[in-house]
C-alpha cells in the first residue's frame, strides 16, 4: 500500500569478503544492484544505493512502505541470500556469515543483518546522513549520537537555534534485558549518560523531536541494534552497526551531525571482536580494515531526499579537515596495540563472554585448586 510518508531503510550484512574480513567483493555489489534495480522497476522501492563499509554489504533504500515492511525486509533478505550464492562460488571468506536463520518469516530483524529505518514526512528540503561502521558494535554510536542531540559543546544549535532549544527525546534500549526507556534531554541528561556510558548494554535506538516544527512521533535518527551473538548464542563476528540521521532546519546542522566524529573515541570490536580501539572516520576508499583487522571505521554518506528518491551520495569524511582525527586514531591504535593481550586493549572478561576465549579458559578449569 503506497503511503505519503518517505521511509529510508538501511539494511546490511556481512555475506563474505576478500581477502579474509577486509572488503566486500565488487561482484557482490553488482549482484545486489541488480536485485535493487528490479525492485525499483517493479515499484517496490523508489530508489536505492548499494555500497560497503569494510566487509559489510550495505543496502540503502528509499520507499513509501514504512518501517518494518515485510516486502522491503524480504527484498533485503533475498538480496543477501543471492549474494551469498555468489560469495560461495567465489570462495569468499565468511560467505553468508550474517545470515543466521534459514527461513524468512516476515521481518529481517533477529535474523543476523543490521537494520536502521526512519519514516518521516519530507520537509521542503530533507538532508540525511547514513553512517556505516565496521569492526565494532551498536554502542559505538552512543557517544556521537549523544553529542549530536544532547551536547551543547558539540551542537551549537542546542544553544543558538530556538527551534532546537527544547532538546530531544532519547529512546534507549537495554539490549541484555530487552527493555526500553524514553528519556528527556536536557532534563535527564545525567541519567541518560549514566545509562549510555555502559555502551555494551544500553544503546541509543532512536531520537525524537520534542517541540517545534517537526512531528514529535517521527524519529529523526535511528541506529541498528542487532546483536549477532545474542541470536546465534556464540561469537559469529561483531555487530557492525548502521544509523540514519536527519539534519538541518530545527535538527543538528550537517556539520553538527559530523562533528562528534572528529574525536576518535574508543569502541569495542577490532580484531576478533575482542579489543578496544579508536573509531576512525574514513572515506569510502579507506573503508576497509587491514591493520590488526582494523582499526574500526565509520563511513558517512550524505543525501538530499527528493520525493522518496536519493540525491547523492556525498562522501562526507572525504575531507582533509578529518585528517588530524585519522592521524590521532592511528596514533591511538599504536598505543593500544602495545598492550598486546592485556586489558584495556583486550575487552574485559564480561564482554569476552561471546568470543572464543571462554573455550580456551574452560580447558584450564580442572587444573584450578583451592587457594591457601
Ligand atoms: C572482527 C572480525 C575479524 C575476525 C578475525 C578472525 O569483527 O571479523 O577480526 O574475528 O579475522 O576470523 P576467523 O575466526 O574467521 O579466522
Ligand atoms: Mg567478515
Ligand atoms: Mg564487518
**Is residue 286 flagged as an active site residue?**
no
The catalytic position among 14, 55, 151, 293 is 14
Take atom 5 of ligand 1 and give the residue whose Cα is closest.
272
Mean model confidence pLDDT for the chain: 95
* Whether pTM exceeds 0.95: yes
Nearest in space to 63 (alpha carbons), one of 11, 8, 114: 8
Distance separating alpha carbons of residues 46 and 308, to the nearest angstrom? 6
Q: Over the stretch 205-260, which tens digit does the pLDDT of each residue have?
A: 999 999 778 998 999 999 999 877 777 777 766 789 999 999 999 999 999 999 99
Distance separating alpha carbons of residues 181 and 175, to the nearest angstrom? 11
Q: State which of 53, 237, 291 you would mutate to test the pocket of ligand 1, scoring each by most atoms of that ligand within 8 A of its C-beta.
A: 237
Which atom number of ligand 1 is nearest to the Cα of residue 238? Answer: 7
Q: Over the stretch 316-369, which tens digit does the pLDDT of each residue have?
A: 999 999 999 999 999 999 999 999 999 999 999 888 877 788 888 889 989 999
Q: Over the stretch 336-348, which tens digit does the pLDDT of each residue have?
A: 999 999 999 999 9
Q: Give yes or no for residue 310 having a pLDDT over 50.
A: yes
Q: State which of 15, 21, 292 you would mutate to test the pocket of ligand 1, scoring each by most atoms of that ligand within 8 A of its C-beta.
A: 21
Distance separating alpha carbons of residues 67 and 59, to the nearest angstrom? 15
Which atom number of ligand 1 is nearest to the Cα of residue 271? Answer: 9
Q: Give yes or no for residue 2 having a pLDDT over 50.
A: no
Q: Over the stretch 145-154, which tens digit does the pLDDT of each residue have?
A: 999 999 999 9
Q: Which residues contact 75 (CB under 8 A, 6 or more apart)?
A: 35, 36, 39, 44, 45, 61
Q: What is the pLDDT of residue 3?
A: 62
Among all ligands shown, which has an atom nearest to the Cα of 291? 1
For ligand 1, residues with CB inside 6 Å are: 20-21, 135, 237-238, 269, 271-273, 293
Q: What is the pLDDT of residue 318?
A: 98
Take atom 3 of ligand 1 and give the residue whose Cα is closest.
272
Q: Give yes or no for residue 1 having a pLDDT over 60.
A: no
Provide, rounded to the nearest whole percent, the portion of the chain with pLDDT above 70: 98
Nearest in space to 279 (alpha carbons), one of 171, 174, 140, 167: 140
CA of 136 relative to ligand 3 center, distance in Å: 8
Give the Cβ contact number of residue 37 at 10 Å.
13
Among all ligands shown, which has an atom nearest to the Cα of 269? 1
Q: What is the pLDDT of residue 249?
A: 95
Cβ–Cβ < 8 Å for 182, 171: yes
CA of 287 relative to ligand 2 center, distance in Å: 13
Tell me the sheet residues that pair with 95: none
**Is residue 235 flagged as an active site residue?**
yes
Cβ–Cβ < 8 Å for 22, 288: yes
Q: Give yes or no for residue 89 having a pLDDT over 70.
A: yes
Q: What is the pLDDT of residue 257?
A: 98
In the numeric block, which cell numbers belong to residue 205?
535506538
Name residue, grid cell 537494520.
Answer: 115
Distance separating alpha carbons of residues 327 and 165, to the nearest angstrom? 35
Take atom 13 of ligand 1 and give the residue whose Cα is closest.
272
Q: Give yes or no for residue 7 having a pLDDT over 80.
A: yes
Q: Is 213 exposed, middle or buried (0-12, 13-18, 19+ CB in 10 A)?
A: exposed
Distance separating alpha carbons of residues 328 and 292, to the nearest angstrom? 17
Q: Which residues contact 355 (CB under 8 A, 6 or more apart)?
A: 235, 272, 273, 274, 347
Q: Which residues contact 321 (CB under 8 A, 6 or more apart)?
A: 262
Amino acid at each position: 500500500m503506497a503511503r505519503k510518508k518517505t521511509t529510508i531503510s538501511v539494511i546490511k550484512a556481512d555475506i563474505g569478503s576478500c581477502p579474509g574480513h577486509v572488503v566486500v567483493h565488487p561482484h557482490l555489489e553488482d549482484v545486489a544492484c541488480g536485485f535493487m534495480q528490479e525492485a525499483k522497476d517493479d515499484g517496490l522501492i523508489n530508489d536505492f544505493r548499494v555500497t560497503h563499509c569494510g566487509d559489510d554489504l550495505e543496502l540503502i533504500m528509499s520507499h513509501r512502505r514504512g518501517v518494518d515492511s515485510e516486502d522491503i525486509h524480504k527484498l533485503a533478505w533475498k538480496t543477501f541470500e543471492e549474494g551469498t550464492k555468489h560469495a560461495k562460488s567465489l570462495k569468499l571468506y565468511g560467505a553468508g556469515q550474517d545470515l543466521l536463520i534459514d527461513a524468512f518469516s516476515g521481518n529481517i530483524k533477529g535474523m543476523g543483518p543490521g537494520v536502521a529505518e526512519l519514516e518521516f514526512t519530507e520537509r521542503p528540503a530533507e538532508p540525511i546522513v547514513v553512517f556505516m561502521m565496521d569492526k565494532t558494535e551498536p554502542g559505538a554510536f552512543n557517544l556521537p549520537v549523544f553529542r549530536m542531540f544532547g551536547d551543547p559543546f558539540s551542537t551549537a544549535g542546542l544553544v543558538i537555534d530556538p527551534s532546537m532549544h527544547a532538546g530531544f527525546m532519547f529512546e534507549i534500549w537495554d539490549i541484555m534485558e530487552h527493555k526500553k526507556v524514553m528519556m528527556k534531554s536536557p532534563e535527564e541528561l545525567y541519567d541518560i549518560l549514566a545509562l549510555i556510558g555502559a555502551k555494551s548494554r544500553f544503546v541509543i535506538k532512536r531520537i525524537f523531536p520534542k517541540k517545534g516544527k517537526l512531528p514529535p512521533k517521527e524519529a529523526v535518527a535511528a541506529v541498528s541494534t542487532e546483536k549477532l551473538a545474542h541470536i546465534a548464542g556464540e561469537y559469529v563476528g561483531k555487530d557492525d552497526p548502521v544509523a540514519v540521521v536527519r539534519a538541518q532546519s530545527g535538527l543538528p546542522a550537517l556539520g553538527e551531525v559530523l562533528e562528534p566524529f572528529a574525536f576518535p573515541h574508543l569502541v569495542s570490536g577490532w580484531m576478533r571482536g575482542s579489543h578496544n580501539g579508536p573509531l576512525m572516520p574514513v572515506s569510502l576508499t579507506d573503508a576497509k580494515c587491514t591493520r590488526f583487522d582494523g582499526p574500526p571505521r565509520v563511513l558517512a554518506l550524505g543525501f538530499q531526499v527528493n520525493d522518496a528518491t536519493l540525491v547523492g551520495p556525498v562522501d562526507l569524511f572525504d575531507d582533509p579537515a578529518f585528517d588530524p582525527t585519522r592521524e590521532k586514531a592511528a596514533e591511538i591504535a599504536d598505543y593500544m596495540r602495545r598492550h598486546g593481550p592485556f586489558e584495556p586493549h583486550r575487552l574485559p572478561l564480561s564482554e569476552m563472554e561471546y568470543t572464543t576465549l571462554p573455550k580456551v579458559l574452560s580447558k584450564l578449569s580442572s587444573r584450578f585448586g583451592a587457594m591457601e
